């Protein structure tokens, strides 16, 4: 998990541990973080003065830094983003006079499973570390297919709070890649399934399956 350095104060006499140093502004409760060796408020950005004595016994404090986990994944729901990618895909197809695709829940299940696998196994691509590919995933899910297609993406969005913006960035990336563009604008497809998952470092793993 992605993390930031935060200060830890330990009293040398009584052993009291505090993971927040004194903030001079009581109206701001931002997390105190370590930046270039100095402590500052992660919310308002002001420098934070570290205390030198224990609030309980008055003994001397030893200040060390620890890594605190931070989840940088998007705040929008996965289902909301999946719908936005589906809509953005159909808008792109309409601009090229290509029929829109229906959303297929069965395909979406396959796509979600692959995106989650990419997050859990820390990879991005069509072939999983165990060697399985798209046709294996369709067969394992008992999906009746004559032809299958897939787009995948690992994307770090600019705006973590806007599903439409994230969807546009992902679909634009596919359209800018010849192979992905060919898949997305293929007029032989009739349905698609979208599945996304989030990594804690802020990456969106997206899978788009066609049939």
pLDDT for 29: 61
- Amino acid 14: pLDDT: 84
**Low-confidence stretches of the chain (pLDDT beneath 50):** 1, 22
Residue 111 has a pLDDT of 97
- Give pLDDT, residue 97: 98
pLDDT at 19: 62
pTM over 0.85: no
Q: What is the model's pLDDT at position 103?
A: 98
DSSP string, the chain: --EEEEEEEEETTT--EESS---S-TT--PPEEEETTEEEETTT--B-PPP-B-TTT--BEEEEEEEEE---S-SS-HHHHHHHHHHHHHHHHHHTT-PPPEE-HHHHHHHHHHHHHHHHHT--SSS-TTS--HHHHHHHTT---SS-EEEEEEE--S-TT-HHHHHHHHHHHHHTSHHHHHHHT-TT--EEEEEEEE-TTSPEEEEEEE-
């Amino acid at each position: 998990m992605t993390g930031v350095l935060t200060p830890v104060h330990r009293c040398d006499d009584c052993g009291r541990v505090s993971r927040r140093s004194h903030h001079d502004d009581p109206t701001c409760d931002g997390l105190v973080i370590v930046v270039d060796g100095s402590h500052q408020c992660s919310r308002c950005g002001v420098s934070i003065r570290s205390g030198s004595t224990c609030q309980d016994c008055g003994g001397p404090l030893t200040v060390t830094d620890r890594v605190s986990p931070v989840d940088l994944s998007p705040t929008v729901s996965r289902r909301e983003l999946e719908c936005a990618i589906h809509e953005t895909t159909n808008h792109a197809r309409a601009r090229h006079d290509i029929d829109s695709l229906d959303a297929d829940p069965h395909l979406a299940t396959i796509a979600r499973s692959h995106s989650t696998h990419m997050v859990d196994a820390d990879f991005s691509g069509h072939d999983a570390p165990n060697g399985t590919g798209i046709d294996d995933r369709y067969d394992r899910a008992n999906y009746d297919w004559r032809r299958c297609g897939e787009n995948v993406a690992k994307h770090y969005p600019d705006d973590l709070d806007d599903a439409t913006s994230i969807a546009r960035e992902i679909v634009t990336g596919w359209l800018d890649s010849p192979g992905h563009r060919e898949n997305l604008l293929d007029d032989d497809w009739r349905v698609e399934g979208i599945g996304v998952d989030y990594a804690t470092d802020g990456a969106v793993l997206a899978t788009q399956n066609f049939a």
